[in-house]
Amino acid sequence: MEQQEDATGAARTAGGTSDGRTGGAGRSTTDAVVAVRAPARAPARASVREPARGPVPGGADGADAPQGAEARPDADAAGTPSEELSPDPGLLRLARWFAEADPGTADDLCAASFGLYPARHFGAPAEPSAVDPAAGGPPGAEVSWWHGPTAHTPAPLRTREPRTAPGLRRARRDAAALPVVLSGAKPGRPGRHRRPERARGAAAVVPQDRSAATTAAERRIAARLLLAHPLVTASGPHADGFPLIRRHRDWLTERFDTLLGYPLVVGPWHARLHKAGPGPGAVRRLEHPATGAPFTPGGYARLALALALLVDAPEQLPLGRLLAAMDAADPAPAESDPAPAESADLAMALAVLADWQVLADLPADLPAGLADASGVLTVDRELARAVPVGPPALADDAADLVRRAAEAEPGTAVRRRLAETPAVLAADLPEDQRAWLRDHRHSGPAALADFLGLEAEQRAEGVALLDPAEELTDLALSGAGTAAQAALLLVERLVEEVRPLPGETTGADVPVPDALIDGVLGDIADEYGLPAGWHRDYLADRTALRRDALDLLHRMGLITTRPAGRLLRAPAARYAPAPDLLPAPGTGRHSRRDPDITIPAPTSPRAGQRA
């Protein structure tokens, strides 16, 4: 919360929290501390006191519905139409930094200042028999990703139903070990990621203490939900898991703080995990919740500008009044009517605020509604105040904010990478973090794997925490869609082409020429495009297919771009077929012959005499 105060120049006060549905500043008092603007900053305003209310019903698990909503005043005297909205100076400064940033810096700045990015992990694990020393295989930590076991599954022509939404799906339980999980989730298939509840190899052992097993599963479900969705409300799309967060908030607060250094604030209406910034070049961007279109620096600037006004706005706010206040407070106001790109940026910003439940009652057709500027929005000020986590008041500029937000002691910094990113390569770490990972090669990943229900994959180049259920990730390489299928096929063939031979000193990266990428992608599109039902727009526009496929591989950490060109990273080899390290059999007289190949007898008489 100290960072939140720095962001808004706020005073620490006990405040009401929201239900994420109809606003609700001051609805009930909790032990959570929220950051609000210092009273001296705002113009003098009349005050409306709500009647005193008792403690929030429902107890630790929040099972009962909140009461007292009918006592909420119909209007907020602090938001009379004659009074201008007062923007928060810290968020206004952040909006200016967004407007001046390039796209990559703007993405990093968003992750550092809001911390609402989800975790990202690989899915299917490698073949266990090849890495288990007990099964005769080599120790995993001594094997390179380039030549180790793979998680390869044939990609061509397979079909897969698209997921309805990225991130954590509804909680699934192991029916044998956990017959009941009081999370409100619907019954489902047994979850593959419930590691402590299911034994490996031999028959599963049903815990004798079923209550302890249920508690462990509930805590893991809640932790995974928060890591996938750092802002969870009691009435939002992940409301099924909110009672679990409330019930285990003390344990979750302690574990997140100890392992990752993330503060967790849980009130009666929402839970907020304050993630730290992942640092520069983390490839985390904000996208439109419906279309998936990436934010531009202008869109980020509009988002920060709207938040600067909403943290102290009235609960009922006319849309036209908000738009006028944003134009007046814009650090770089337009000289004439807004361009179409600016209108699209504004529509994206408001759509994300509605997705976060900061705003409600937006026009159904947002672009047309913005042009009309009619209607009244419902503002949840407490959720608006919960969004910023970065310290813009302490930073000199955008780059300094990104750096400050990622600062942590070596162990915490490495654990954050393990929990948030697909793979942690030692070559990418500073020396102090590399030394910590070397000294805690097994214990560090194991603690997080147990906390989040993941599986550790140790390799010579680094460590990856895997989620076989593909729930704790916002991206899945083996996902649906033309770009995802093309990306998987592309990385498979690139690895086969440039994979280093055993004994070659190449490190974690291997150069991959652009010409090879173009040639391989062209072959893939010709071979699999129409039979696999790929989108015709991609087949007609190979440049767009190349761009989106490489973008997915880049965001998954399998390809990186350096000044010298593109590099294929070692974890990419886990998606390619296992390497054949033996020489290929030939058919000549001096070649090593494959015993399964039968060479026909010569038919020429002269050839027979030579034989």
pLDDT for the residue 386 = 96
Q: What tens digit of pLDDT does each residue of 290-336 get?
A: 999 999 999 999 999 999 999 999 999 999 999 999 999 987 655 54
Whether 13 and 109 map to the same domain: the answer is yes
Band of the pLDDT at 524, cuts 50, 70, 90? very high
Band of the pLDDT at 53, cuts 50, 70, 90? very low
Asked, for residue 473, whether it belongs to a domain, the answer is no
Residue 152 · residue 576 · CB < 8 Å: yes
Cα dihedral 378→382→383→389 (10° resolution): 140
- Quote the distance between the C-alpha of residue 303 and its chain's center: 19
* CA-to-CA dists, residue 606 to 51, 242, 587, 609, 611, angstroms: 109, 84, 19, 5, 9
Whether 254 and 289 map to the same domain: the answer is no
Please say which residue of 341, 365, 386 terminates a domain: 386
Asked, for residue 374, whether it belongs to a domain, the answer is yes
Q: How far apart are CA 226 and CA 118, in angstroms?
A: 9
Whether 30 and 107 map to the same domain: the answer is yes
Whether 305 and 359 map to the same domain: the answer is yes
Band of the pLDDT at 580, cuts 50, 70, 90? low
pLDDT for the residue 334 = 52
Q: How far apart are CA 172 and CA 182, in angstroms?
A: 12
Q: What is the mean pLDDT of residues 563-589?
A: 74
Whether 193 and 256 map to the same domain: the answer is yes
Whether 290 and 315 map to the same domain: the answer is yes
Please say which residue of 352, 386, 420 terminates a domain: 386
Looking at the 3D structure of the chain, how many domains does it have? 3
pLDDT for the residue 232 = 97
Whether 256 and 341 map to the same domain: the answer is no
pLDDT at residue 602 above 90?
no
Tokens of 379: 């503002």
Q: At 127, phi and psi to the nearest 5?
A: -60, 120
Q: Which residue type occupies 26?
A: G
In this structure, the chain runs to a length of: 611
pLDDT at residue 203 above 70?
no
Q: What tens digit of pLDDT does each residue of 205-257 get?
A: 444 565 889 999 999 999 999 999 999 999 999 999 999 999 999 999 999 99
Q: Between these two residues, 209 and 513, which has the higher pLDDT value? A: 513
- The backbone region for 374, taken as left when phi is positive above 0, alpha when psi lies in -120 to 50, beta otherwise, is beta
Asked, for residue 18, whether it belongs to a domain, the answer is yes
Asked, for residue 240, whether it belongs to a domain, the answer is yes
Asked, for residue 398, whether it belongs to a domain, the answer is no
Band of the pLDDT at 592, cuts 50, 70, 90? very low
CA angle, 533 then 546 then 499, to 5°? 100
Band of the pLDDT at 126, cuts 50, 70, 90? confident
Asked, for residue 336, whether it belongs to a domain, the answer is yes
Whether 260 and 292 map to the same domain: the answer is no
Q: Any idea which residue has 């079909």 for tokens?
A: 159
Residue 160, SS3 per DSSP? coil
Whether 302 and 265 map to the same domain: the answer is no
CATH number of the domain residue 541 falls in? 1.10.10
Q: Cα Rg for the chain, rounded, in angstroms?
A: 27
* Bridge partners, residue 510, by sequence: 568
pLDDT at residue 183 above 80?
no
Q: What is the pTM of this model?
A: 0.75
pLDDT for the residue 520 = 95
pLDDT for the residue 426 = 95
Host domain of residue 563: 482-575
* CA-to-CA dists, residue 509 to 430, 562, 568, angstroms: 17, 11, 5
Choose among 64, 52, 1, 62: nearest CA to 28.
Answer: 52
Q: What tens digit of pLDDT does each residue of 443-479 get?
A: 999 999 999 999 999 999 999 999 999 899 999 887 7
Band of the pLDDT at 394, cuts 50, 70, 90? confident
* Bridge partners, residue 377, by sequence: 317
Asked, for residue 454, whether it belongs to a domain, the answer is no
pLDDT at residue 510 above 60?
yes
Query: What percent of the chain has pLDDT above 90?
Result: 55
Please say which residue of 250, 273, 296 terminates a domain: 273
Tokens of 420: 């948030």
Q: Between these two residues, 74 and 442, which has the higher pLDDT value? A: 442
Furthest-apart CA pair in the chain: how many Å?
A: 112
pLDDT for the residue 460 = 92
Asked, for residue 450, whether it belongs to a domain, the answer is no
pLDDT for the residue 154 = 61
Whether 496 and 568 map to the same domain: the answer is yes
Whether 212 and 286 map to the same domain: the answer is no
